[in-house]
Structure 1
Amino acid sequence: MKDAKFAITDIETTGSGIKGNRITEICVMVVQNGSVVDEYTTLINPEQTVPLYIESLTGINDEMVCNAPQFSEVADEIEKITQDCIFVAHNVNFDYNILKSEFSDIGRDFKRKRICTVRLTKKLIPGLFSYSLGNICTSINIPHFDRHRAGGDCEATVTLFQRCVSLDPEYEVITEFLNRKTGASYLPPHFRNSDFEKMPRTTGIYFFKDKDGIPLYIGKAKNIKTRIKSHFQERSNRKYKLMQATHSIDYELTGNELLALLREAEQILKYYPKYNKAQKQYTKPYTLTSYHNQKGIEVFALHKNKKSPISWMKFYTREEAVKFLEELCLKFNLCPKYCGLQRDLKECAHYKIQECSGMCKDEISIEEYNQRVAKAVEHTQEYESSCLLIEKGRKKGEKAFIYLSKGRYAGYGFIGESEDLSHPEDFRNYLIPQNNSAYTDRIVSRYLSTKKNIKRIELNEISEETEYYEPEDLLAGFN
């Protein structure tokens, strides 16, 4: 290892992300046995305009790079000088992935072992206020001239790397970093590998947090550790910025996917994280209603924006609603024509439901048909009942319950596998009450309408009402 060559690299680019970002300048200094043995520096024509804020930061402008070589013209030099070297940079994933992307754009591969001097410094020089290159240099008295230019930043990184080697003369830490087989090479620069290794491989929600502990992103996963690692490996500009801002990752175990979805929705509405998009746009649901037509036949209908005195169920995609109505037709032998599944037809001719009640052909009486509809309505009301949904717990010997008050999410809890929850007073001792929202309503609705073999305990004695909030009310403070 002591004879290894390290290609200390710094690049300047047209932006702060990864995708669509082009190199404007590169400097590579090869260090071997503590000394610089080779060097290569050049401006590069990015084949796009240099943004004003980048020009203000680096001093590199369109005029400086217009006559510089394009990346394809210097690729051989970069390939050659980094050959058989360990690639080193401050926040290495940025420089490495930009460079890899440039090679990919010209149809070539670029693959090197790599080390991040941010992570190396954190390990060997712990306790610094900040691990940005400029602040590290100020803290430990490293000369840093010509900042935000490839040559100046690369020289400072070389000195920093040499300082780290002096603290790791046997290359034990460097060797450890190179030999890691986990997601460590993809970790955010401010996040410790030891914390990543503690992440569980079970179901729950997770929080990417900034330096002040404020959630930046909240997600759910069946396997928290695997999902977090996949975030590290994504290459979008948005995900890169999230990783740069992340200082810690927290998690909460749920044991099952339903509760994970509900807890994710609750926490997103509570913290409104910067990098969550999914729940910022509210979509009005489709409402299942019924009415009597001119002949006196009770007809099911779906509507999205109209108000109705009768509302049986809500669906958040038309596909879910149609699927439920088709199952209702089959289960209670109804007519697709009178279930909102067909229009402008005298008789039913549904592609899936081959037989109908005969109401469309006047083969049964209106009274008999409406009795079938009444049974179907009674069936839909099961979805609005108060009950406990029983799911897998967080550990062996434990089960989780989700409390629905009149069909709406009202809380959850965890109990022993042998506990009996047949009476309200039993489960309330373990209940963690929660407010409902249109988002949790959507999750429960989808679960009830699509999940097979649901384990539920009906509750007939409900003494409390759950509060219900529309997303507009919950998000009012953020508008």
Structure 2
Amino acid sequence: MYAILDIETTGGKFNEEGITEIAIYKYDGHEVVDQFISLVNPEREIQPFVVNLTGINQKMLRNAPKFYEVAKRIVEITEDCIVVAHNSSFDYRILRTEFKRLGFPFKRKTLCTVELAKELIPDMESYSLGKLSRALGIAVSDRHRASGDAQATVKLFKMLLNKDSGKKIIKASVKVDEKPKIASNLKHIIEDLPSDTGVYYIHNAAGDIIYIGKSNNIRKRITQHFTGKDSKSKKIQALVHSVSFEKTGSELVALLKESVEIKKNKPPLNRALRKSLFSHGLYSFVDANGYLNFSIDHASKKETPITTFSNRRSGTAFLNRMTEDFELCEKLNHLSASKTSCFNYGIQKCYGACVLEEDVTTYNERAQRIIDHNSYEDKNMMIIDRGRSVGEKSVIVIEEGQFRGLGFFDLNHQINNRDVLLSIITPMENNKDHQHIIQSYVRRNRKRLKIVMI
């Protein structure tokens, strides 16, 4: 049984793409016995060139199901099937990436019709789906849309099956996921690395730092670099001579140190983190009716955001969650374009601020808690996290809303004297990237962290 599919994506950086449309035809070798076709809301921006190519835009996907809503159907229709696609390594990678984001291990055998066509129909001018289909007289409708391309792949696959009467090439071409292997010259590097949280430095033969990263498991992350197939991993594999590291215990400390070290050393393979880590922020204002409003917008140099996000998608997801947790109004938080009441008002999850029914003071008290929980402006506080060993803790110090630095202390010594506290920390620059790192980390780990006001 075969699951012949095609996927359209947002485009963008490797492993950061999102699915915009998917079509799957279940084929038993004779006819299509089941099918699934759907637009998918990728929860991220579509690259302009992709919009021009496919015709799929953000407006079309606004009410489309998100991937987690179609994931079960994809699992069911591909169960016990060999996944077939034209350039299957791309479609299969995208699918596995989406399932990985959900924490689900998606594994299927695969067949690539590009590779099969090269074996069974040699000497063609081009093996792109469009040109190959034209050359073979295969009608293609809706080119660069998932359903049209998947239907063309079904017809192509039928033709290839007929040409391979003994099924020798088909059987030999089925790919099974194999555990990636580490090159023998890199194995000795892995042996000396810890499985601890910290910052690692990859050096070339001259001792220069070519890449800096952080991980909750240094050995595992370096192993991923040494077995990866993406362009950055291949560059690391070609240039690495040694790896040094610094244990931090705390992921927050590792993130802060990583940011500092990358900006200081400017490793050639760390282009992404040389720039600012965030692009959007959470902002608030009081409207004409006195209600406290929130919105996600591009980070402004003039206004200080309450907290910041790496992209609009994560900011909007956060604001949706806060709106639900604190029973706020979608319309006032700019999550609904309704000109009257918001949707939640109709299902009694909003108390009517959007139609001026809820008391302003009561509403604003709940809304203010979002600011109190996520901003450390003018606050004096310690963020206490894991240390490098049993009996040790890390501490991040915020003084008058400014990040002062970080350090480690022994659990046997209580630190309640500000002068003593400041004497044990390593001073660090208070910049917007560090504020973003701290706020993002606290958002994700608030229930586990110990936060002490000083």
Q: TM-score range by the shorter chain?
A: 0.5 to 0.7
Matched to 2:185, the amino acid is L
Distance in 2 of aligned mates of 1:353 and 1:278: 44
Asked if 1:359 corresponds to 2:353, the answer is yes
Q: Post-superposition shift, 1:395?
A: 1.6
Letter in 2 for 1:434: M
Deviation at 1:185, TM superposition (A): 4.3
Q: Indicate how the Cα distance of structure 1 residues 373 and 395 shifts in structure 2: closer, same or farther if over 3 A, else same.
A: closer
Q: Which among 180, 184, 187 is matched to residue 186 of structure 1?
A: 184
What does residue 200 of structure 1 align with? 194
Does the CA-based 8 Å contact 2:278-2:308 persist in structure 1? no
1:208-231 CA-to-partner distances (Å, cap 9, x unmatched) read 112332211111222222322332
| Partner AA of 1:441 in structure 2 | Q
**Aligned-partner Cα distance in 2 for 1:198–1:392:** 23
**How far, CA to CA, are the matches of 1:351 and 1:448 in structure 2?**
31
SS of equivalent to 2:272: coil
In structure 2, the CA distance between the partners of 1:245 and 1:310, relative to structure 1 (3 Å rule), is: closer
Amino acid at match of 1:385: K
Matches of 1:441 and 1:201, distance apart in 2: 28
Deviation of the 1:347 alpha carbon: 0.7
Whole-angstrom distance in 2 between the partners of 1:255 and 1:283: 22
Residue in 2 aligned with 1:394? Answer: 388
AA partner of residue 216 (structure 1): I
TM-score, structure 1 length as denominator? 0.51
Which residue number corresponds to residue 220 of structure 2?
Answer: 226
Deviation of residue 444 (structure 1)? 1.6
In 2 relative to 1, CA 308–299 (structure 1 residues): closer, same or farther, beyond 3 Å? farther
CA change 1:237–1:328 in 2 (3 A) is closer
Cα deviation for residue 441 of structure 1 reads 2.7
> Whole-Å Cα distance in 1 between the matches of residues 204 and 418 of structure 2?
41
Amino acid at match of 2:427: P
Q: Report the 3-state secondary structure (helix = DSSP H, G, I; strand = E; otherwise coil) of the residue aligned with 2:420.
A: helix
In the alignment, the residues of structure 2 paired with residue 392 and residue 277 of structure 1 have an alpha-carbon distance, to the nearest angstrom, of 29
SS in 2 for 1:187: helix
Find the counterpart in structure 2 of residue 426 from structure 1: 420
**For residues 240-277 of structure 1, what are the alpha-carbon distances to aligned partners after superposition, in whole Å with 9 as ceiling and x for unaligned?**
33333323211111112222222112111111101123
Greater C-alpha radius of gyration: 1
Distance 1:233-1:322 versus aligned 2 partners, 3 A rule? closer
Partner SS for 2:331 = helix
- Partner amino acid for 1:186? S
Match of 1:412 in 2: 406
- In structure 1, the partner of 2:397 is 403
Task: Please tell me whether the aligned partners of residues 283 and 306 of structure 2 are also in contact (alpha carbons under 8 angstroms).
Answer: yes
Matched, 1:265 2:259: yes
| Match in the other structure for 1:312 | 306
* 2:240 alignment partner, one of 240, 246, 256: 246
Uncovered stretches (5+) of structure 1, i.e. residues with no partner: 1-71, 73-103, 110-182, 461-479
Contact 1:290 1:310 in 2 (8 A): no
Give 3-state SS (helix, strand or coil) of 2:385's partner: strand
Structure 1 residue ranges, 4+ long, deviating more than 6 angstroms after superposition:
none
Shift in alpha-carbon separation, 1:389–1:448, aligned structure 2, 3 A: same
Distance 1:239 1:298, change over 3 A: closer
2:336 is the counterpart of 1:342: yes
> TM-score, with normalisation over the residues of structure 2?
0.54
1:68-112 C-alpha deviation (Å, 9 max, x unpaired): xxxx9xxxxxxxxxxxxxxxxxxxxxxxxxxxxxxx9x9689xxx
CA 1:297/1:231 → structure 2, altered by over 3 Å: closer, same or farther? closer
Aligned match of 1:296: 290
Q: Which structure 2 residues correspond to residues 5-154 of structure 1 after superposition, within 5 A?
A: none
